[in-house]
Structure 1
């Protein structure tokens, strides 16, 4: 367990450092993104979709405000085009993170966890609980990228990974894009409620999952 958490912490620090760097530099602020989408919308709707897809894919390498971006995509493109654009961007980010980590992640894994037994245990643990981590990863920024990379590192079967990723991403993108599409500057409440509701739902699921894991461990220790 410690080995698995160590690797996830390293990945978290990497993604968090990109977020901090972006914040300090002032690049990719919410106002900047709004301006880009407004200008693009005046030119061509496809350009707006391309920006949404590109920024969500870029989230794999530098942290961007994913939920806010999807809501803005729905506002500028409508629920269907906004949702599809978000799905494409999130899918590209997840699959790319998985494939890069599948091919090169073993170098980081072997360097951080030198004991073969500990490596095997860490891989087995993520193979067991990884699907739930992926399904609930939208509870927090950065966690989706970490889960995709961990799935690749631990050689989770691609079908299992992509199934969990789509199951988590499809309703998330659809709800956020729809909320953005029915929001206005005068009435931003749908977007606000969607952001709170989605985050609260995933955190509640995490709480239930952790409670069940703790209960299982307690029962196992008494048996």
Structure 2
């Protein structure tokens, strides 16, 4: 498990650095996002949908508050249109991350780990646990982008990747969007409760998953040729 965690940590640092840069520079804040969406809503709801998609796609390259954007999408567009818009943005980012990492990821993995045996172990571990990780990847910021990149870099079959990522992401998008649609400035309680319950629940699953996998036996690298 150690090689996979090492690569995950390196990629997480890369994504986290974009969040810190934006946070410290004040270039893009939650208030800015809300202002942009409000301005777009005053012109045409289609602009809101396009902006939501663009912001969530940008999450692949710069860390943005996905839950907040999805809640706002539901608030401005309604549960269905808001959910679809958020989902398109998330899926677009995920697919792009997978494709880029599938093409260029192996060279990055080799830069971090030059030991072919370690790389083989990492692919085996992600092949064994990757599906479940994709299901719960919305548990924490940065984790979805990280999982998409690892899926591509370890050459997980695309159909398998998109299936499990979708199972974990579709409910997330529509639940958050619905919560945003029934929230108001005077009553933000549905949005707040949804953010706490969904994020907290997924985080607990992620926490126990890490405990279980860390306590499991190491992968046997003695592979017998067929």
Distance 1:20 1:149, change over 3 A: same
Partner SS for 1:3: helix
CA distance in 2, matches of 1:215, 1:50: 45
2:31 alignment partner in structure 1: 31
Aligned-residue offset at 1:204: 2.4
Unaligned residue ranges in structure 1 (runs of 5+): 219-223
* Match in the other structure for 1:2: 2
Summarize the alignment of residues 29-178 of structure 1 with structure 2, pairs less than 5 Å apart.
29-178=29-178
1:139: how far off? Answer: 0.7
Aligned residue pairs total 218
The answer to whether 1:200 aligns with 2:190 is no
CA deviation string 1:192-220 (max 9, x = no partner): 000001011102222443454466549xx
Inter-partner Cα distance in structure 2 for 1:14 and 1:216 = 28
Q: Secondary structure of the residue that 1:156 maps to in structure 2?
A: coil
Counterparts of 1:83 and 1:215 in 2: how far apart (Å)? Answer: 38
Unaligned ranges ≥5, structure 2:
219-226
1:189 aligned residue: 189
CA RMSD across the alignment: 1.4
Separation (CA, whole Å) in 2 of partners of 1:129 and 1:135: 10
- Whole-angstrom distance in 1 between the partners of 2:94 and 2:119: 23
Q: Which runs of 4+ in 1 moved over 3 A?
A: 210-218
How many Å separate the matches in 2 of 1:87 and 1:94?
10
Cα distance change on mapping 1:118 and 1:216 into 2, 3 Å = closer
How many angstroms apart in 2 are the aligned matches of 1:55 and 1:72? 12
- Counterpart of 2:17 in structure 1 is 17
Deviation at 1:134? Answer: 1.1
For residues 140-189 of structure 1, what are the alpha-carbon distances to aligned partners after superposition, in whole Å with 9 as ceiling and x for unaligned? 00000000000000000001100011001100000000000000000000
SS at 2:197's partner residue? helix
Q: Secondary structure at the match of 1:185?
A: coil
Aligned counterparts of 2:211 and 2:17: Cα–Cα separation in 1: 31
Q: Distance between the aligned counterparts of 2:165 and 2:101, measured in 1? A: 16
Shift of 1:20: 0.3
